[in-house]
Structure formats: C-alpha cells, structure tokens
Structure 1
Amino acid sequence: MSLFSAQLQPGRGLGFLLLGATLHDVLTRLKAEPQLFPQLIVVHSPENPVTEPICIALRKNGIRLRFDGPEQRLRLIEIVDFTMNHITFKDRDLVRPSNGVASSPGSPVPGESPAGPTFRHIYHRLLGPTYGGEFIPSGNGEDQGLYVLSYPGVAFNFPLAASAYSPDKDVVSLLSSPSSQVAQSMAIFSGNSWAEARPTLWTETLPSVKVTSLLPRSKDVYPDEVSLVRLHGGGRIELFRKWTNNAFVINLGETTPQDLVRELGPPSAIYRKNDQRLVIHRLRTASNTRSRPSAGSSGRPDDLTDTDHSSMNTGSEDSDDEAAVEDAGNNAFGECFYNYFYLGFDVLLSTPVTPSPPPPGQTAEESPRGEIKAHSPDRLVVTKLVLHGNVPGSYEFNRHRRCRWEIGYLGDTGDGTPVNSESPFEHIEDRMTEKWGKLMIPKHDESPQQRQRGMVLNRGWGDSPGSSCELLGGWEDSGARRVDASGDSTSTLYGFPGLVFEVLKNGFVNAVTVF
C-alpha cells in the first residue's frame, strides 16, 4: 500500500481533506481510492447518531476524521501515526527518515526520528516559534500527560511527565528533555489555538467548501449548497443557502424542472421508476386522516408514503444532459425523480396535483399561495420532495448528503429550538398532533393521546415486500458499495398531512417526504 501524501494547510485541511467538507463528500472521495484507503471505519453513537460527533478512522493511514452530528461537517483532522503517511508543509517534510537508519527517539538532530516530528524540527525549522502551550494531565493518577504545542490551526501533542511540568518554564526548556521530543499526534482545526478552539469545535460556523475542491464533475455549474430546508405547509418550501441571505422557494404544483435547474443546477441523476405497491393504501388514507386527508381523491397511488425513490437506485446517469432535462419538463410520461445527492434531497416531477392543505391557523399572509398555476396538461412540475438525513447506521447511509430541515409552522419548542431534523420523532409527533388537532385522531378513537401505528419499511427484501411496506429494492440494486454492511434495513413510516417521516429504531428521523 502506498503512503497517503498530502500538504499540511493549518486551519484549512490536509490535502483534499478540507475542514468544513461534508461527511458524504469525504466518504465518497475516500471510497473512490480503495488502494490508498483500504479500511474505512465509521464510529458513531447508536443512541444519538444525529447529535453526537461522528468519526472516520483510517487505521491503515494513521488518520482520524471527526465530524459534528447535526451538519456532518469535518471539524477535526488527527494524525495518530506519522509512519503511515507522508505530510509536507511548504515543501518541507514533517517527518524525515534518516536514510533508513532509525535513531533514538530523543535524538537532538532535527527530523532524524522516523517515529514522528521532533520538537526542534517543528519549532526551529518547520513552523517557527509560538506561544507557550498547555499541559493536559492523564486524569488516571499516573505521572504522565500531554503537552500541547499549539499554532493557529494546528497543534502537536508531546508526552510529558507531570512531575517535569512547570508553568514557569518556557516552552523551549520544557521540551528539551529527551523523553518529550517526538510528537505523539497532530491535530488540524479551525482557530487561533487548540485551547481557544475546543469550546466551539463542534458548533463554529465554517466557511463554504465548494464541491469542486473535492469531487470534480463534468459540468462547471456549482451553486452554493442548500444548508436548511424550511417547511411552511400548504406545499410551500424554502431552501436556504447558509453563506448568503438567499432562499429558493419551491411551490408544489407550480415549480418547474427549469426552475430547479436554474437555481440548483442539474441533478446528479434522474430516476424514472414508478412504484405502485402502495396503491392499496389509498382507501385507508381516505378513511383515516392521520395521513394526507386528500390523498384518496388525488388519483395518485404513490402520494402516501413513497419516501425514497432514489436512495437505493439510480435509474439513469443523464442528469447533466440538458436535453434530458428539457424532455422531462415537457413529457407527461416522463414522471421522474431528480436526484440531488450532493444537496441531500430528491424531487418528484409529475403532472400538477393540489398540494396538502396549509396547517390550521395559518393566514393568507403566512402562506401566500393561490390555486395551482395553469400549466399545459402535459407539463411536469414539482409535486413532492424527499429530504434525506444520512443517519449513520441506516441502510442507505452515504447515498445522500445530510439535509437539515425544520417545520416552520410549528414554531419554537419553548427553549428557542425549532422542531427540526435533530428532534426525536416522539417530540415531533407530539407537536404535529397538537398542531393538527382532531385531524390527527381517528373517528373511532376518543383518546387524543393515542399514538398512530407506523408502517414497517424494509429496504433489504428486494421485490418481496410481503406484509411490510418496502418501496424500492435494496441498496445492491444500484450496484453501489456501502461503507457499513451492518446497516439496519428496517424503519417505520408515520404519515401526517403533507408529511411522511421515516423513523429508525433509535427514534430519529431518517427521511421526510413533503407533498
């Protein structure tokens, strides 16, 4: 296996691994080079996969990549074994083996130890002088700790005996002892120093990272990514770009394929499969208003819960073909999904249908929508949006980038936090039931606290849904290679007016369908 060679960029990244890059982008790039990165291990919290940090361990490369849970952005790059990679800074090697002859770890000759960069090499030749660092004791009662030599955007850990540490000593004198001269690890982060960066490491707003810097594609159209989708009800959806004040509004039943391409660029793929396996549930929807109240009269068999027509399959890779986009916009028989894998959602294009009604109490000013615009009968418009959570441990993990969303018409939760993609579904269900009131209660049920019964979804059964509700074939249908073969293929669907939630066993939402 060849060594991973990269240029150190303090405060920015390591080679193509850039701080602020999304988990989906980084994993996709790493998987594209299996010879260089033969082992990828995704470490996450099974109980809180969307709130706790996520780690990618590259054990064959001596690197750890840490992402925050809500946004899934790269926050910290750690080098834990300098012998498994080749890192340079301004054309100087971080570690310089001495012609294959290993010297003692305490050698005073700069760069002579192959185990890691020496203090003298870092301080006198590579990065230069810096302010005094901090000593972090081990915490287990042992006389051993770490001294952090910190620069803007990069820090080095040196093992140091607690008995040898004194805040009165200067940094050069402190690290002149042979036992502390070789760095044990290195961290790349955003901030002036490691001590300053730690409190806001997982929450700091990071600059935009264009997809072009990570994954070159065939077109030169790269709009700013969508960082938040706000759901207003009544078919009105706002897509916000984090580093601007601009928002693109999608009105279900009105927005055209040309509108999407103009604002979002061409999709990554176009999926044309039409799944009819939920047609039986139209009658159930008409009599049970827990799901969309008007689904029974819409004449469409898939309006209830086709939560993910694209996360398992890619029907065709013609998204960058402008002729295909134009054909989809004018051909009624071209009903399809636009797959925006790098934005985290899919868009269903079909003939116009009336979107779900606005929530109770919403005024005309809050929902400035009239009737559906008069399109020609064979004109396709946006009728559905599928937002993907990219939750670690789910069966379709890393098919899409994580898409963050919030339900605008529910307001805050009392502590200033909106109901959003990080909220446990139990809390979302309570707020939705409270908002929609009697519309969420079956006629035969007098208890307003009665929970609705979910519909089981299994993505691993191919075309044999049996008594469950499996909307598309398994991951293997697309020929893609999953990062974690142990992903759970079973989830549960819960329907509300205008929304369907796909909920994992841990109680977090994996996908939301807006119709």
Structure 2
Amino acid sequence: MQRSECMEFEVVPERCLKNPSVEFHIGTPINQVITMLQLNTRLLHGIKFTYSKNDPFGRDICIHLSLNGIKLFFDARSQLLKFIEVDNLSKIVLRYCAQVFSEPGAEATMDRVEECFGSTHPGAYDESEKVYVQSWRGLSFCFPTTDSNHVEVSPGFGPNLRSLNYDKDFAPKLTKMTIFKGTQLTKNSEPLEVPQHAYAGQNRLILAEAVRARGRISGMCFLFTTEDKVKMATRGATNDYELVTLKRTVHFGDHVTQVMATLGAPSKVFFKSDDKMSIHKGREKETVEPQPHFFFNYFSMGFDILFDFSTKCVIKFVLHTNIPGHYHFGIYNRCEFRVACESEGEETLLETTSKYDDFSSVLDSPQPVVISRSSSENRNPFGATFAYGTRQVVVEVMDNFHIAALTIFKV
C-alpha cells in the first residue's frame, strides 16, 4: 500500500489522534464520535462495531476502523472514549511534532520511536504474549519478541522491567500503539473527562432524579455541567472557559418558557406526527384536526420533555439509557437516573443499570406491550422491545432485560 493511499494522523499523548478532517479525543462521548464518522464516510470505511449484548454496562464498546488500522474503545458505563489503539501500522501514517515515525513499508522500530519520543526507563515484558511494551505518560508501544534468535530480553531495574537487546538488522517493529489517559492503561487509570471542545455549548448530565410530593412524582431534578455563560461572554478571543455544575428542577405543569430558562434551549423540537389514542375520541371529534403535542429533545443530556400543545406545559419525561442494539442508540447520550416507583406500599428504585428482575415486583401487569416499529420507514433491525407499566412510569425493556428508556407521566 502506498503512503498516498493512507490517512496521516498526529499522535498527541494522553489526548488524541487527529488530522485536519477527524479528531479522536480521549473522553469524547460515543454519540459524538459516531456522528463524526457518519460525516466522514468518504474518508473512513470498513467500520465495525462490537459490544456485549448480555453485559452492556460491564464490557467496553469498540469501534474498529478496519481499513485505517484504528480501534476506539469506550467505557461501558460512561460511554466516553477510553483509549485509542492503532493495531495495523501498514494502513496508517503516524507523526509526532511534525516528524513521521511510522508509515506503510517503513513501520516504526524501537530506535525510531526512541529517537522521536526520547529515551525512557526500561519497558515491561509480557512473557505469555512475547511482547515488549515501551511506555510514556499517556502513550505505549508494543514490540514483538517472537524472533528469539535475534532478540534477547534482559532484567531491568525492577521485577516487571526489562531491557531489550537485538541485532540492528532485525530490530523489532511496532505492532501496536495505544493512547490513553494517565501513566498506565489499567482499570484504575485516571477518571475520564469530557474535553472542552465536546461541550460546544451543550450541557452534560450527571444525574436525573425523580422529585416526589404527596406520594407522587411531581417532576425531575437534573444535575449537570455546563459552560459558564457569564465568563464565556467576557472571554474575548480566547478559547478557554470554565465549567459549572448546576442543579435544576423541572415540574409537571411548568411552562415551556420556564423549562428553557431552567435547562437552556433543546437540541431539537419534535412534533408528534400521530396520535394512536385518537380512535377513542368518538365520532363528534372526527372532523377536528388534532394539534400535536411536542417534545424538547435534549440529546446531549439523554432525555426528552413532552409538552401539551394547548397549555404549553410539561406532561411527560422520557429518559434514555442509549444501550447498543436499541432503535435510538447513537442519538442520545446516556442518561444516568434514579427514579423511585411505588406499588401497593412497595417501593423500588429504578436506575440506569436496573434489569427486569430488579423491578418486576412493582409492575401493574407482567404482560408487556410489544413495541415492534415494523413499518418500512421506521423499521427496527434489532427486533421488538417491551413496555411495562407501573404507577406514573412506563419502562421499555430490551430482550436482554435491560432498560432502554423510562417514561414518566403526570397523573
């Protein structure tokens, strides 16, 4: 493969892999990455998406750009980009500080990597995989040592450190490069943070909790981070800004203007195109053109708010878990929620990670309503989901028994 056919990326340790067209930043929400890939289909092909259907909150999500040699791994719970892996050096050009250190036909060796990034302490050696790992903060390189006739592994300065000796004519070539947050890529690595550019004027939800009054759910309390609008207005030409954490409550009956003042403008306003309950209105209503209710879609915070068309007041909340395999996956960021449900004196806490067995005891009926989305323009390739009802709450459940969405309505 010629270099002209490959995309060239700049390596920024602990931060990103980027070029003028696309940028993969550590901490970016998966939905924003998917949108970026969709906008660059001319450049990025052969995209593969893998996830665990049975354990969507426990096993990381991977987007593999197979024709570009790039793998993007997302944290299963937060759905933020956890680390970036380049595993096929024959399909990509890599540079650091304007210096190309790996390209097809001239993949990086240990000497080229050390020349580009500077010397460091002896690396770690994986005896089972026969791989020598050279690391810097936020960056690591893997070199195979399978050619034992020309490569010798010597003890280093610690129990897990090793030095590599090799024949200059048989220098190990780089097989994998990883960009991550912190000093090492482990389960206990530094917490992920959404990068500044990913906010772009949008809010980032931390938690949504149900507010109760007189034994009923009266609204939702939203804890979220947002850009400091006062400092944004005075920052001038600089790109720096500060984030603030806000706690705001929206009640049933709040007017549309109150909601906008509380949460800011929505990502989109969506008008319901049909009313499946109109059959119950009677013959005298047949000639009356129904006015559709409308949603405020807050995609970056993972929820919708439904307003009555006549009163312009809140009548419903819809919270989305953004589980892979659901019809709406990739549209909303994950909504972390806590909603207490009551039934016959029993209270159960519904959370984002709850499964059917956790809340089945408070359901009004074990028989669900099937949501098939079978029409040609609205077809769901992943199959039907199931809606269960309890007091003020409708739970949409996938076939893996995880919650896809939670609808909370006024009674």
Q: TM-score range by the shorter chain?
A: 0.7 to 0.9
Confirm or deny that 1:206 pairs with 2:209.
Answer: no
- AA matched with 1:168: G
**Could you tell me which of 150, 153, 157 is aligned with 1:165?**
153
For residue 225 of structure 1, report the CA deviation from its aligned partner.
1.1
Q: Which has the higher contact order (CA 8 A, sep 6+)?
A: 1
Q: Deviations over 1:71-103 (max 9, x none)?
A: 111101000112222222111113156xxxx5x
> What is the distance in 2 between the residues matched to 1:23 and 1:232?
29
Confirm or deny that 1:10 pairs with 2:5.
Answer: no
**Aligned residue for 1:429?**
360
**Could you tell me which of 136, 155, 158 is aligned with 2:140?**
155
For residue 271 of structure 1, report the CA deviation from its aligned partner.
1.3
For residue 229 of structure 1, report the CA deviation from its aligned partner.
1.4
**Could you tell me which of 203, 217, 230 is aligned with 2:209?**
230
Give the 5 Å matches for 1:34-433.
Answer: 34-96=41-103, 114=106, 116-123=107-114, 125-138=115-128, 145-161=130-146, 164-168=152-156, 174-177=164-167, 179-193=170-184, 197-201=185-189, 204-210=190-196, 213=197, 222-233=201-212, 234-241=217-224, 244-254=244-254, 256-278=255-277, 333=291, 335-350=293-308, 379-407=311-339, 419-430=350-361, 433=362
For residue 175 of structure 1, report the CA deviation from its aligned partner.
4.7
> What is the distance in 2 between the residues matched to 1:246 and 1:267?
16
> What is the distance in 2 between the residues matched to 1:49 and 1:264?
29
For residue 131 of structure 1, report the CA deviation from its aligned partner.
2.0
> What is the distance in 1 between the residues matched to 2:407 and 2:301?
15
Distance 1:181 1:245, change over 3 A: same
Contact in 2 for aligned 1:120/1:181 (Cα 8 Å): no
For residue 460 of structure 1, report the CA deviation from its aligned partner.
2.6
Contact in 1 for aligned 2:250/2:262 (Cα 8 Å): no
- AA matched with 2:195: V
Q: Secondary structure, in 3 states, of the residue corresponding to 1:427? A: helix
> What is the distance in 2 between the residues matched to 1:499 and 1:64?
39
For residue 510 of structure 1, report the CA deviation from its aligned partner.
0.8
Confirm or deny that 1:455 pairs with 2:369.
Answer: yes
Contact in 1 for aligned 2:269/2:296 (Cα 8 Å): yes
Identical columns (%): 25
Contact in 2 for aligned 1:222/1:265 (Cα 8 Å): no
> What is the distance in 2 between the residues matched to 1:231 and 1:4?
48
> What is the distance in 2 between the residues matched to 1:261 and 1:176?
65
- Which segments of 5 or more consecutive residues in structure 2 lack a partner in the other structure? 226-242, 282-289, 343-348
Distance 1:259 1:40, change over 3 A: farther
Distance 1:78 1:263, change over 3 A: farther
Contact in 2 for aligned 1:338/1:346 (Cα 8 Å): yes
Contact in 2 for aligned 1:229/1:240 (Cα 8 Å): yes
Q: Deviations over 1:343-383 (max 9, x none)?
A: 222211116xxxxxxxxxxxxxxxxxxxxxxxxxx541222
For residue 270 of structure 1, report the CA deviation from its aligned partner.
1.6
> What is the distance in 1 between the residues matched to 2:279 and 2:132?
65
> What is the distance in 1 between the residues matched to 2:388 and 2:13?
46
Contact in 2 for aligned 1:10/1:188 (Cα 8 Å): yes
Q: Secondary structure, in 3 states, of the residue corresponding to 1:200? A: coil
Q: Greater CA deviation, 46-55 or 269-278?
A: 269-278
Q: Secondary structure, in 3 states, of the residue corresponding to 1:246? A: strand
Contact in 1 for aligned 2:30/2:81 (Cα 8 Å): yes
Contact in 2 for aligned 1:88/1:94 (Cα 8 Å): yes
For residue 2 of structure 1, report the CA deviation from its aligned partner.
4.8
Question: May I ask how many residue pairs the two structures share in their alignment?
Answer: 362
> What is the distance in 1 between the residues matched to 2:294 and 2:16?
39
Q: Deviations over 1:280-299 (max 9, x none)?
A: 799xxxxxxxxxxxxxxxxx
> What is the distance in 2 between the residues matched to 1:393 and 1:408?
26
Distance 1:198 1:189, change over 3 A: same
- AA matched with 1:493: A
Distance 1:281 1:126, change over 3 A: farther
Contact in 1 for aligned 2:57/2:76 (Cα 8 Å): yes
> What is the distance in 2 between the residues matched to 1:200 and 1:145?
24
> What is the distance in 1 between the residues matched to 2:101 and 2:35?
27
For residue 172 of structure 1, report the CA deviation from its aligned partner.
9.3
> What is the distance in 1 between the residues matched to 2:268 and 2:355?
31
Contact in 2 for aligned 1:71/1:404 (Cα 8 Å): no
> TM (normalized to structure 1)?
0.64
> What is the distance in 2 between the residues matched to 1:26 and 1:129?
33
For residue 257 of structure 1, report the CA deviation from its aligned partner.
2.5
Distance 1:134 1:88, change over 3 A: same
